[in-house]
Structure 1
Amino acid sequence: MESSPLHQSPPPKPIIVFGEVLIDRLGDGQGVIGGAPMNVAWNLRGLEQYPYLITAVGADEDGKRVLESTEQWGLATDLVQTDVDRPTGEAVVYDNGNGPEYDLPREQAYDYIRFPETFVENLPAAESPILYHGSLCCRSPVSFDTILQLRKRFSDHIVVDINLREGHYTTEIVNQLIDGATVLKCNCDELSLITGQPCKTHNDVLTVARKFFEDSTVRELWVTDGASGAYWIDHSGEHAKQEAESIDPNSIIDSVGAGDAFMAVVLAGIATNEFRPETLAKAVRFSARVCQIAGATTADDRFYVA
């Protein structure tokens, strides 16, 4: 007997992922495809979501590698632009003992992502997609203008992932990105910088969040706190805290991409309207798993099996 449509779950909302793709140059010289939006899109595919990825690469060997790897993984590359004048982005990754640090050259292909007019015109507005973007690619006027246009077109569900890299953001731009967002993801240090208030304890985070919601369009906060876990806080006052996974320290390879892994699970949960505390628990577990591989992603489908 076929089930009634009344008892079927609605299809997940489409997800648009906008921003940088780059090559992470790790300490051993190995080049791994990365960039927060790319990592998020890659992990979403592993989680059986198929986002629209809007980014740009150079007309070089790194760009060719990105396109080939992305296609092999099952992600569409229709919206990956090729910039003949600028190189594929790169980041030199250092481990300072407290997590990764990044040297990020400017004038990269992802600094010049153009507005995908045909895609926007052809995507039915009724689909009400989730628009996800970070903050790094907004350092350049061209990509920043593109994301502002996309936000204007897809304003119902704007998810902003704050990644504050020293020398690559201004307070004005960060505030502009938060204004109009419906969901914000950041870590405790970033929440403290955004609000000017300390976020050292559980009570600090909840108090700062309540104050933050008073003058913000943001309806949900997802706040990571490193080895202490993460928070989900809703504007209504509902909230949850998930302690970090206990894993063997000897199994940890690096923490590159842990926040992006967390974000991918959150987006998948939002797209399917999953119970938020359940999404939070999954996101914390998955981000811990990513610390046990080299780099931020893997092409091994088995890694994504719960």
Structure 2
Amino acid sequence: MNHEILVAGETLIDFLPEHPGPISSVGGFERRPGGAPANVAVALARLEQTPLFWSRVGEDPFGDYLLETLDEYGVPDRFLEADPDAKTSLAFVAHDEAGDRSFSFYRDRTADTRMEPGRIDDSVLATLEWVHAGGVALSSGRSREATLDLLERAADAGCTVSFDSNTRTELWPDEATLRVIVRDALASVDVLKATRGELEALGFTGDSIEDVAREALAAGPHTVLATRGGDGSLAVADDDAPWSAGAAEHSGYEADVVDTTGAGDAFVAGAIAAMRGGRSLEETLAFADAVGAAATTEPGAMTTLPDRAAVREISRR
């Protein structure tokens, strides 16, 4: 099989709480596979656009479980690495009654912070159409350099480069470092996905979410996709975009929300699939919102990512 998409970044274990509330009040957790880029890779596979996936886990039981899970979803193992000298990252999830979540990470010098520059060589990039990465990999360790290197070389190779800011401020030493590093990455990015809060954390401002997204265009991307939770999404694109310049929005879909973990990652996969299929901004948002909404109806992230049948069903609502 020829793979035209590469996703890069962390794979980790999400521990989901047995009931809503702060982590301090939860007595038990259930292990689930996670990590935003891993979720994007699996979501693309579920949408019949299976990508290559570059990630690194520990050579430990959690890492074994994640590699087995990715294999079950049909994600190729060509660039999946097991680190004998580092552990797999863990994230404990808390969510409220509406399904909105927060995270507590155990990620100090773990395997996913130890990805090495140059692992994806130029001969591989020459075969790719699209490269996607996320902000967590930029927060610490050698993975910061490896991710920046990948994005820059992918852009030079003519790939469409997408990036999910996925801002987790607790993983960064300070807000100033976050802004400098992520905005450095944006110079190589074509399509940026973020929430309004994430855009503002990067220093972009405006009276409306559209204004904030338009300011982000000046940092490098030709397209910004801004997600609004249950209220859908908005997109802005400039004249360099291969689709029509301007703005578009979608109001989202009704869903019986159980857990929003992974919804943003599902949205990213839906957007990549739609854009690669030549859809307009309006059509891209409609499809991506449907993929994201369908991912919220069960607990967990990777294990609830929808196939095209599930997306069609929620699109009818």
Query: Could you tell me the TM-score, scaled by structure 2's length?
Result: 0.83
State the shift of 1:211 in Å.
3.5
Partner of residue 67, structure 1: 67
Instruction: Give the direction of change, closer, same or farther, for the CA distance of 1:123–1:304 in structure 2 (3 Å limit).
Output: farther
Question: Contact 1:47 / 1:304 at 8 angstroms: preserved in 2?
Answer: no
TM-superposed CA distance for 1:246, in Å, is 1.9
- 1:9 is matched with none
Q: Which moved more, 1:42-51 or 1:183-192?
A: 183-192
Report SS of the residue matched to 1:65. helix
Query: Which position in structure 2 is the counterpart of 1:159?
Result: 162
Partner of 2:267: 262
> 1:30-84 CA distances to partner (integer Å, 9 max, x unpaired)?
1110010000000000000111100001111111111111112111012111111
Tell me the residue number matched to 1:289: 294
- Show the counterpart of 2:112: 110
Question: Which of 206, 209, 212 is residue 205 of structure 1 equivalent to?
Answer: 209
CA distance in 1, matches of 2:3, 2:284: 16
TM-score w.r.t. length of structure 1: 0.86
Q: Which amino acid in structure 1 is aligned with residue 250 of structure 2?
A: Q
1:24: which partner in 2?
A: 14
* Inter-partner Cα distance in structure 1 for 2:300 and 2:118: 30
What is the distance in 2 between the residues matched to 1:36 and 1:218? 20
Q: Note if contact 1:14-1:271 (Cα within 8 Å) is conserved in structure 2.
A: no
Q: Does the CA contact (< 8 Å) of 1:39 and 1:257 recur in 2?
A: yes
Higher mean C-alpha displacement, 179-188 vs 269-278: 269-278
Q: Please say if 1:186 is aligned against 2:170.
A: no
Q: Report the residue type matching 1:241 in the other structure.
A: E
Identity, % of aligned pairs?
Answer: 27
CA–CA distance in structure 2, aligned partners of residues 164 and 139 of structure 1: 9
Question: 1 CA distance for matches of 2:62 and 2:270?
Answer: 27
Aligned residue for 1:232? 235
Q: Which moved more, 1:46-55 or 1:138-147?
A: 138-147
Residues 43-192 of structure 1: matches in 2 within 5 Å?
43-96=43-96, 99-105=100-106, 106-115=108-117, 117=119, 119-123=120-124, 125=126, 127-155=127-155, 156=158, 157-169=160-172, 170-192=178-200
Contact 1:46–1:304, Cα closer than 8 Å, also in 2: no
Determine which of 217, 220, 225 is the counterpart of 1:222: 225
CA distance in 2 between counterparts of 1:124 and 1:211 reads 30
Q: What is the alpha-carbon distance in structure 1 between the residues aligned to residue 308 and residue 215 of structure 2?
A: 42
Residue 243 of structure 1 corresponds to which residue in structure 2? 251
SS across alignment from 2:302: coil
Query: Given residue 81 of structure 1, which amino acid in structure 2 is its aligned partner?
Result: E
Question: Which segments of 5 or more consecutive residues in structure 1 lack a partner in the other structure?
Answer: 1-11
Give the residue type in structure 1 aligned to 2:302. Answer: T
Cα distance, 1:173–1:302 mapped onto 2, change above 3 Å: closer
Q: C-alpha displacement at 1:298, in angstroms?
A: 2.6
Note if contact 1:22-1:91 (Cα within 8 Å) is conserved in structure 2.
yes
**One-letter code of the match for 1:187?**
T
Superposed displacement of residue 96, structure 1: 4.2
Aligned residues: 285
Q: Deviations over 1:233-262 (max 9, x none)?
A: 111342111002123xxx321110110010
Q: Give, in whole Å, the separation in 1 of the partners of 2:150 and 2:223.
A: 20
Contact 1:93–1:101 at 8 Å: present in 2 too? Answer: yes
Find the residue that maps to 1:123 and give its secondary structure: helix
After superposing the two structures, state which structure 1 stretch, 267-276 or 49-58, moved more.
267-276
Aligned-partner SS, 1:282? helix
